[in-house]
Amino acid sequence: MIVGIDLGTTNSLVAYYTEDGPKIIPNRLGNHLTPSVVSVDENDEICVGETAVERSLLCPETAAQVFKRSMGTGKKYQLGSRTFTPEELSSFVLRALKQDAEAYLNEPVEEAVISVPAYFDDKRRKATKRAGELAGLKVERIISEPTAAAIAYGLYEKSRDTRFLVFDLGGGTFDVSILELYDNILEVRAVAGDNYLGGEDFTEILEKDFLEKMGLDVNKLDRKLMAHIRDQAEKCKIALSSGREAVMACMVDGEKKEMSVSYRDFEKECEPLLERIRRPVQRSLSDARLKLSDIDEIVLVGGGTKFQVVRDFIIRLFKKFPDTSVHPDEAVALGAAVQAAMKERRKEVKEVILTDVCSFTLGTEVVVERGRGIFEKGHFCPIIERNTVIPASRTERFYTVYDDQTKISISVLQGESRFAENNLLLGEISVSVPKNKAGAEAVDVTYTYDINSILEVEVQVISTGEKKKVIIKGKDSTMTDEEITERMETLAYLKIPPKEKEENKLLLLRGERFYEESTGEDRMALEYLLRRFEDALDSRDSGKVGQAREELQAKLRELEQI
């Protein structure tokens, strides 16, 4: 059986598909939520979940939590005498979920669909997959949390075309995704987020406020007391979601210290965090070229959306009430279970095509001329922009900079900074070019990016026709070279320049014919639309090509009726 797993920052869940739909599998304590906390006990054995939470309050130096934020990094966690990576800690949580599922279902569970934040880059996604494999699971697919949530809400079964925004605020990460449903296709239009923003940050506000008002120096408090204060801050935050005032009380050196917190004061202190939430929402709308009024539904996901201060902010921001028909803590796991059922080809599940986007821009380093022959290195040139629907292929042409240059090196970068050094270096490929004057030699660089996070980079020297190709799959990929080659061959159609496709050639020819037959304003309009269509074809952006094609076709239909 393939199960769906929501590997969360604060809590994790596992679900499976039944004849009655997806269902959460209770853990060994009968609860749906398993805290994503790991501890090492006095016998050097691993504890996971609620047991680890209790140990973290008694022996905080033996426990780790919120390690999902560090996935894909080199960070180490010291638990007693043992050291672990974030992937290893995550694998313990996944193994516990696997064991709970096997005990509940009374059958082996060897495969899983695991969710990740939409804004996780390739390193974090591969680290998540590696954690699953360390837990003894074959990871059938990594699915973005907002897409999984959309499936859980049944949005893919709606009868009409729908645009909706998934607002996913978990314990440690924040994602906003805009998805569009048409026919049986669920397309991600744009994603944005913050890998270091979540419900834990709202708890931290109360924690810091308490320390300040009580005159406590965090550097003089032991870890056990800090864990107690953190626990009470979390309870106070929850209490403020059901009332206009709450009291945070802690025992410090045998003395009970209390702090009264009003909802209005807490909301005001949260304004910097709420502003951090606003920015990704605005960026996703901008990338999708949409306005707030274009969004049909708002879907809430993640435990952080249960807090009243967050919900009030959402209502003010979107000027509409969000959909809360599915429990926000469970939506992602339920959606992952539906995706698992799709992988199993279960007849009860309506098949839906899920498209995804490239979360980060892929590009290369270039030299920029500053005038009078002065060149500045280190600039970033995007090739596949973030939020491009994948799989995708894009080509850019680059020229030699110096006289008698004999080599062009293409550094493969991922990120959003305009400076190359601030982006993630994925690989490099170099080709030889004939000696010539500056700007006389050129290469075409083609990036082809697959939904499995496989990037093919091809460089062709224009004057000699020489080609070089490299596959960047990351050291943690489990696909063989043969499987990758086969996959890239199936994407060969993406590499055909749009201008070479028969339907586009035909439309250009029809447009040229009508241009010759027209005069006045019609001719001017056709010239504009033809140029716009050619520019879109050169960009290889399927969205731009489709829009420009529709506009040109509409004008030609209008002229045909005259």
Domain-terminating residue out of 330, 357, 384 = 357
- Assigned domain for 462 exists: yes
Same domain, 208 and 250: yes
In a domain, 184, yes or no: yes
163 CB burial (10 A radius; 0-12, 13-18, 19+): middle
Domain end among 357, 392, 409: 357
Per-residue pLDDT band for 350 (boundaries 50, 70, 90) equals: low
Residues 182 and 265 occupy one common structural domain? no
**Percentages (nearest 5) of helix, strand, coil residues in the chain:** 40, 30, 30
Q: Give residue 419's domain range.
A: 362-487
Same domain, yes or no: 320 and 406:
no
pLDDT in tens, 276-314: 999 999 999 998 889 988 998 898 988 889 899 999 999
Q: Is 180 helix (H, G, I), strand (E, B) or coil?
A: strand
Same domain, 467 and 523: no
Q: Could you tell me if 183 and 145 lie in one domain? A: yes
Residue 483 neighbours by CB under 8 Å, 6+ apart:
none
193 and 317 housed in the same domain: yes
The DSSP-derived string for 12-66 is EEEEEEETTEEEEPP-TTS-S-EE-EEEE-TTS-EEETHHHHHHHHH-GGGEEE-
Q: What percent of the chain has pLDDT over 90?
A: 45
Say yes or no: 205 and 192 in one domain: no
* Count of domains for the chain: 4
Percent share of the chain, pLDDT over 70: 91
Confidence of residue 476 (pLDDT cuts 50, 70, 90): very low
pLDDT tens digits for range 363-391: 999 998 877 778 889 999 999 988 887 88
pLDDT: is 203 or 180 the higher one? 203
Can you give 394-428 as a three-state secondary structure string? EEEEEECCCCCCCEEEEEEEECCCCEHHHCEEEEE
Per-residue pLDDT, averaged over 321-326, amounts to 85
Model pLDDT for residues 428-473, shown as the tens digit of each residue: 999 999 999 989 999 999 998 877 667 889 999 999 999 998 887 6
Element (H, E) at 11: strand 11-18
* Residues 511 and 420 occupy one common structural domain: no
Please report which helix (H) or strand (E) contains residue 188, including its range: strand 185-194
Long-range contacts of 535-538 (CB under 8 A, 24+ apart): 536/498, 537/497, 537/498, 537/499, 537/504, 538/499
Domain membership of residue 351 (yes or no) is: yes
For the chain, the average pLDDT equals: 87
Query: Is residue 284 domain-shared with residue 378, that is, in the same domain?
Result: no
Instruction: For residue 91, give the H/E element and its range.
Output: helix 86-105
41 and 63 in contact (C-beta within 8 Å)? no
Domain presence at residue 492: no
Is residue 378 one of the residues assigned to a domain? yes
* Residue 386 is assigned to a structural domain of this protein: yes
**pLDDT tens-digit profile of 212-233?**
999 998 888 888 899 889 999 9
pLDDT tens across 438-449, in order?
Answer: 899 999 999 988
d(CA 269, CA 263): 10
Contact 353, 19 (CB under 8 A): no
State how far the Cα of 48 lies from the Cα of 57, in Å rounded to an integer. 14
Last residue of a domain, one of 243, 271, 299: 271
Q: To which residue do tokens 């460089």 refer? A: 459
Domain shared by 229 and 148, yes or no: no
Strands 455-461 and 467-472: antiparallel
Task: Tell me the CATH number at 439.
Answer: 2.60.34.10
- Helix (H) / strand (E) containing 334: helix 331-343
pLDDT tens digits, one per residue of 242-273: 888 999 999 888 889 999 999 999 999 999 99
Write the DSSP symbol of residue 456.
E
If asked whether residues 285 and 242 sit together in one domain, one would say no
Quick one: average pLDDT of 90-116?
Answer: 95
Give domain status of residue 412, yes or no: yes
Looking from the CA of 486 toward its CB, the CA atoms found within 13 Å total 5
Return the beta strands (E) in 241-321 as ranges: 245-252, 255-262, 297-301
What is the structure's pLDDT at 52?
92
Q: What is the DSSP letter of 124?
A: H
pTM over 0.85: no
Neighbours of 348 (CB within 10 A): 11
Q: Are residues 553 and 467 in the same domain?
A: no
Q: Is residue 385 part of a domain?
A: yes
